[in-house]
Structure 1
Amino acid sequence: MSLAVDRTRLYVRGAAEALAETLWPTRCAVCDAPGEVLCDTCRRALPYLDWWRACPVCGAPFGRVQCSECNPVVLGRAGRDGVPYDGCASAVTFGEAPARIVRTYKDQGERRLAEPLARLMARARPPSWRPEAVAFVPATSAARRRRGFDHAELLARGLAQRLDLPVAAPLARPRTRDQRALSRRARLENMAGRFEALPGATVPGRLLLVDDVCTTGATLFDATDALRRAGAAHVWCLTFARVW
């Protein structure tokens, strides 16, 4: 009896998905062509970040020789002696196409983009990084309610599956001001001390910390600080896009 019920449910679900695809076909987040959430043509044309030219410390594009993002002057203005993480990398530089992808994923709720984004991020991870778990920058409660999901958590789960690692969720995030209209210094000040480890959370010693976009690094800085305070010895940060 249960087998027949299960088969009926699968049939109904498949029929519903087929009808939905007919009425509202899947479209590419970049070019709007029907078929896939990110078509092969647009995926190949993304502005991939060249790791060999990027800053080996903070991952800024073209910063390998002289980085304008994590030099002592810039960090000194933010009250820091150095970056808190062991390394930072991104799959692409932020531009028109990545912006459309991020908007479609986060603001339009296209959760299926998490899988191709996680695939691109996994390819961008330097082979020297040896994490034992994947963590993520938690969204605010308001953002989770608005979207119905935590975008960074979905990316982390996709990455963890590809890297055959567990997912760790040790961070809590209180309310913060919206970062989008803030300057670099204001972002760093806005995020300072905002993250903390959840009471009783187990924090692995080597963590891969995931977010969708690195803008000034303020969010990753503070999240890494919290993980360090909670006992993480090594933290590497990985995002889909890097603002440049």
Structure 2
Amino acid sequence: MLSWQRIQDDYLCSACRKEFVRLTGSTCPGCGRKWPELCPDCRRWRSQQPSLLCNRALYAYNNAMRTYMQRYKFQGDYRLRRVFSDELQTALTKWYPRWQGWIYVPLPVDDITWQTRGFNQVVGFLSGIAIKEGLMMIPSCHQKQSTKTRTARLQTKQPFQAKPSAARFARVVLVDDVYTTGRTLYHARKALTAVGVQHIRSVTLAR
């Protein structure tokens, strides 16, 4: 109480909490995975992109995180957003403070996903802090990434376009749930740079 910090509720028992692996120590500066230097994936991205996203992630995408995402996203248990929302919000505001001009932009979901699931899982994590929805899905662009192979993910066509209001953004942090190949986040960055956003980073719950 004397620290003046928000009290965080723990929605997992200690046994379940131990199943999730927090990313600490040396991580890849390009994507945030547990790696002592720039990983092979990011070396390939560096050869294709003007710069890397410098993604930062909180947890490794292990079996526990995979099961969690299955229940939260695909089975639609909206209550599960609270398991990691405080941690993700704390990391965002620590790494990219709003007073430095950073704007938090969650990746959108398409209309079919919205009608089926009823919520955007990333916006669920960010409930309670200021966000800007600077991206929208290109109409009729429904691409379920979870069913695709790695090669198919990397070949995914651009699903996003920037909203007109995004042209006024100077510093953007893209927020997503999982960094898998990076294809989705790099598409999102390209959509924003097309309208003039110059400084873009990304943060994900898992890598």
Larger Cα Rg: Structure 1 or Structure 2?
1
Amino acid at match of 2:66: A
Q: Residue 186 of structure 1 aligns with which residue? A: 152
Match of 1:105 in 2: 72
In structure 2, how many angstroms separate the alpha carbons of the residues matched to 1:127 and 1:156? 14
1:81 lines up with 2:49 in the alignment: yes
Task: Check the 8 A contact 2:58/2:88 in 1, yes or no.
Answer: yes
How far 1:189 sits from its partner (Å)?
2.2
In structure 1, the partner of 2:135 is 171
Contact 2:31 2:179 in 1 (8 A): no
Mark the CA change 1:145 to 1:56 in structure 2 (over 3 Å): closer, same or farther: same
TM-score, normalised via structure 1 length: 0.69
Tell me which residue corresponds to 1:58.
31
Compared with structure 1, are the counterparts of its residues 44 and 232 closer, same or farther at alpha carbon in structure 2 (3 Å cutoff)? farther
SS of 1:157's partner is coil
Find the partner of 2:82 among 106, 115, 120: 115
Matches within 5 A, 1:9-20: none
Compute the TM-score of the two structures, normalised by the length of structure 2. Answer: 0.80
Q: Which of 68, 79, 100 is the aligned partner of 2:40?
A: 68
Give me the whole-angstrom Cα distance separating, in 2, the residues matched to 1:177 and 1:229.
Answer: 22
Q: Deviations over 1:41-93 (max 9, x none)?
A: 3224411112x31111221221x32412201xx237xx7135452x2011111
How far apart in 2 are the matches of 1:41 and 1:230?
A: 47
Rate the CA distance shift 1:45–1:135 in 2: closer, same or farther, 3 A.
same
User: Where does structure 1 lack aligned partners over 5 or more consecutive residues?
Assistant: 1-35
Q: Distance in 2 between matches of 1:233 and 1:187?
A: 26
User: What are the residue-to-residue correspondences of 1:200-239 with 2, within 5 Å?
Assistant: 200-201=165-166, 203-239=168-204
Equivalent AA in structure 1 for residue 137 of structure 2: R
Residue 47, structure 1, aligned to residue 21, structure 2: yes
**Higher RCO (CA-CA < 8 Å; seq separation 6+):** 2
Bigger mean CA deviation after superposition, 122-131 or 179-188:
122-131
Q: How many residues are paired up? A: 193
Equivalent residue for 1:90, pick from 57, 68, 84: 57
Asked whether the 8 Å contact 2:23–2:34 carries over to 1, the reply is yes
Rounded Cα–Cα distance in structure 2 between residues aligned with 1:138 and 1:107: 16
Tell me the CA shift for residue 234 of structure 1: 1.6
Counterpart of 2:5 in structure 1 is none
- Quote the offset at 1:95 in angstroms: 1.3
Q: Residues 216-242 of structure 1: CA distance to partner in whole angstroms, max 9, x if unpaired? A: 011111011112222322222111111
Q: After TM superposition, give the deviation of residue 205 of structure 1 in Å.
A: 1.1
Please give the alpha-carbon distance, in whole angstroms, between the structure 2 residues aligned to 1:235 and 1:200: 16
